């Protein structure tokens, strides 16, 4: 081989190597960024309301505005709930001549910009729904006409949402089974389109709709989204897995989160979303499962707070029982959910997810005890075995009763079937 030909080959190989390196770096930067997916957002999990669990496709402008007013009058806004999110079925079944999404004129005659303005005038934030496929979930299921998914329209739709004043986008896969790489690519495309608008929009993704993400892969979406769903759909039931095998009840979600292989780590601008709250939501149509009772509702809220999940209510706020309202606006519960340390919750060894602990920013520890059984049971928790300091006394706040007490080394409580205790525990210095 001549010296000139050898030199040419080396140059070509070097160029290929440089191109591969550039591609690798591009892929890393695109999918593995260490910063938040969308800049300029709050550092705590979003709190709000979504229309789907209460109303499904039965939504219109008046119902959404009444809900927003109820969020204010109920005290939810002042407790921190800000996002009013309109789920599937808000759009005209056909895009306009230029390919733009538009509101269903019969349901939202004033248009979505007017709905956003209505929210903003009340100190609330506005959320909307879309899908990365050819069609949304309702369209794929045949309960709503058209094919208005965002595939191929990501930049156009993101600009539309920003122009309307959208503050939160729920982006629901609703497609065929896919591997994690395909999901990450698809969700990243919309992330980049949202970034390009310059508007700080919470980017909430659901990669578990039509497909199932392995439980050790959720951290792949860090940097891709603001929050990612970590389970299939949650329905308003305690145990749904046997009756409705594509969705979960509250105890099923607990079982999944306690699995050793489950991995989702909250970071700045990234939250693990255990799905919308089903406390107070109506019975699931077509399935013989009772909705959550008060004890089961406490368990869901206790677990979601312990896990630091976004809390997106799904009940009818205009007809809300006082027990549900008081639960949703419990300040001590929300303080645990919104804790600035963002430490993970850990199931106690051998507890089957019955007992969870989570360190908090002020040095205290949040503890959840859940009765998974169908009958009342006594429980005991040794504080030292749960990782608390070895001291002789502990200040214990029972979040649901609001009562404080001084406890010794072990906490004892009796819990009704499917009920939970949520505690905030601090070691008391023996010198004081």
What's the pLDDT score for residue 243? 65
What's the pLDDT score for residue 350? 84
Q: Which two tokens stand for residue 381?
A: 């928790």
Task: Give the whole-angstrom CA distance, residue 57 versus residue 154.
Answer: 23
User: In a 3-state reduction of DSSP, which class is residue 395?
Assistant: strand
For residue 22, CA distances in Å to 16, 25, 34 come to 10, 5, 18
| CATH number of 348-428, picked from 3.40.50.300, 3.40.50.970, 3.90.950.10, 2.60.40.1180 | 2.60.40.1180
Yes or no: say if 429 and 402 are a contact pair by the CB < 8 Å rule.
no
What's the pLDDT score for residue 32? 52
How crowded is residue 313: how many other Cβ atoms within 10 Å of its Cβ? Answer: 27
Q: What angle do CA 305, 311, 313 make, to 5 degrees?
A: 130
* Residues 6+ away with beta carbon under 8 Å from 261: 214, 215, 216
What's the pLDDT score for residue 271? 98
State the burial class of residue 263 (Cβ atoms within 10 Å of its Cβ: 0-12, 13-18, 19+): middle
What's the pLDDT score for residue 336? 98
* Residues 6+ away with beta carbon under 8 Å from 248: 231, 232, 233, 234, 235, 240, 241, 256, 275
| CATH number of 47-338, picked from 3.20.20.70, 3.90.1150.10, 3.30.70.1290, 3.30.413.10 | 3.20.20.70
Q: Look up the pTM and report it.
A: 0.91
Task: Give the whole-angstrom CA distance, residue 123 versus residue 199.
Answer: 17
Yes or no: say if 356 and 345 are a contact pair by the CB < 8 Å rule.
yes
Task: Give the whole-angstrom CA distance, residue 106 versus residue 317.
Answer: 23
Task: Give the whole-angstrom CA distance, residue 162 versus residue 429.
Answer: 52
Give the torsion sign (CA, 148, 151, 156, 158): positive
Biggest CA pair distance of the chain: 88
Q: pLDDT tens-digit profile of 148-169?
A: 999 999 999 999 999 999 999 9
Yes or no: say if 164 and 122 are a contact pair by the CB < 8 Å rule.
no
- Given the residues 88, 92, 167, 172, the one annotated as active site: 172
What's the pLDDT score for residue 17? 46
Q: Which two tokens stand for residue 261?
A: 């292989």
Domain ranges of the chain: 47-338, 348-428
Q: What are phi and psi of 158, to 5 degrees?
A: -60, -40
Least Cα distance to 423 among 333, 343, 349 occurs for 333
For residue 242, CA distances in Å to 53, 232, 288 come to 20, 14, 11
State the burial class of residue 262 (Cβ atoms within 10 Å of its Cβ: 0-12, 13-18, 19+): middle
What's the pLDDT score for residue 176? 93
Yes or no: say if 275 and 264 are a contact pair by the CB < 8 Å rule.
no
Least Cα distance to 296 among 242, 256, 238 occurs for 238
Q: pLDDT tens-digit profile of 386-408?
A: 999 988 899 999 999 999 999 99
Alpha helices in 75-179 (DSSP H): 76-79, 112-121, 137-141, 154-164
- Given the residues 233, 239, 316, 419, the one annotated as active site: 233
Beta 202-206 vs 227-229: how paired, if at all?
A: parallel
Residues of the chain below pLDDT 50: 1-5, 7-30, 431-432
Q: Indicate the DSSP class of residue 369.
A: E
Yes or no: say if 424 and 334 are a contact pair by the CB < 8 Å rule.
no
Instruction: Please count the CA atoms within 13 angstroms of the CA of 101 that sit on its side-chain side.
Output: 30
Does residue 233 have an active-site annotation?
yes
Q: Indicate the DSSP class of residue 222.
A: B
* Residues 6+ away with beta carbon under 8 Å from 232: 208, 209, 212, 246, 247, 248
């Amino acid at each position: 081989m001549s010296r000139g030909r050898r030199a040419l080959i080396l140059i070509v190989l070097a160029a290929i190597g440089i191109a591969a390196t550039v591609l690798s770096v591009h892929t890393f930067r695109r999918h593995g960024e260490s910063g938040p997916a969308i800049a300029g957002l709050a550092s705590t999990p979003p709190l709000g309301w979504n229309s789907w669990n209460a109303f499904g496709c039965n939504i219109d402008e008046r119902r959404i505005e009444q809900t927003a007013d109820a969020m204010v009058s109920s005290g939810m806004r002042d407790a921190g709930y800000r996002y009013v999110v309109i789920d599937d079925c808000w759009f005209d079944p056909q895009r306009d001549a230029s390919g733009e999404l538009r509101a269903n004129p019969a349901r939202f005659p004033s248009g979505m910009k007017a709905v956003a303005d209505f929210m903003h005038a009340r100190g609330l934030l506005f959320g909307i729904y879309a899908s990365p496929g050819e069609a949304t979930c309702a369209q794929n299921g045949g309960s709503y006409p058209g094919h208005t998914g965002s595939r191929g329209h990501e930049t156009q739709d993101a600009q539309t949402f920003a122009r309307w004043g959208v503050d939160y986008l729920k982006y629901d896969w609703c497609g065929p089974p896919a591997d994690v790489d395909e999901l990450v690519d698809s969700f990243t495309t919309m992330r980049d389109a949202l970034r390009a608008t310059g508007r700080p929009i919470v980017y909430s993704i659901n990669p578990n709709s039509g497909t199932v993400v392995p439980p050790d892969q959720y951290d792949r979406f860090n940097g891709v989204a603001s929050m990612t769903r970590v389970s299939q759909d949650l329905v308003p039931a305690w145990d749904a897995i046997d009756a409705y095998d594509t969705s979960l009840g509250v105890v099923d979600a607990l079982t999944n989160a306690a699995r050793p292989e489950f991995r989702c780590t909250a970071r700045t601008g990234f939250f693990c979303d255990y799905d919308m709250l089903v406390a107070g939501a109506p019975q699931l149509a077509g399935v013989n499962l009772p909705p959550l009772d008060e004890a089961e509702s406490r368990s869901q809220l206790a677990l979601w707070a312990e896990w630091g999940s976004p809390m997106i209510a799904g009940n009818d706020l205009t007809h809300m029982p006082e027990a549900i309202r008081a639960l949703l606006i419990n300040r001590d519960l929300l303080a645990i959910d919104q804790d600035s340390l963002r430490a993970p919750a850990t199931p106690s060894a051998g507890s089957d997810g019955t007992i969870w602990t989570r360190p908090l920013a002020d040095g205290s520890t949040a503890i959840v005890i859940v009765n998974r059984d169908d009958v009342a049971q006594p429980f005991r928790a040794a504080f030292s075995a749960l990782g608390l300091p070895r001291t002789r006394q502990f200040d214990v706040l029972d979040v649901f009763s609001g009562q404080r007490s001084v406890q010794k080394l072990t906490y004892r409580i009796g819990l009704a079937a499917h009920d939970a205790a949520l505690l905030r525990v601090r070691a008391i210095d023996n010198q004081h």
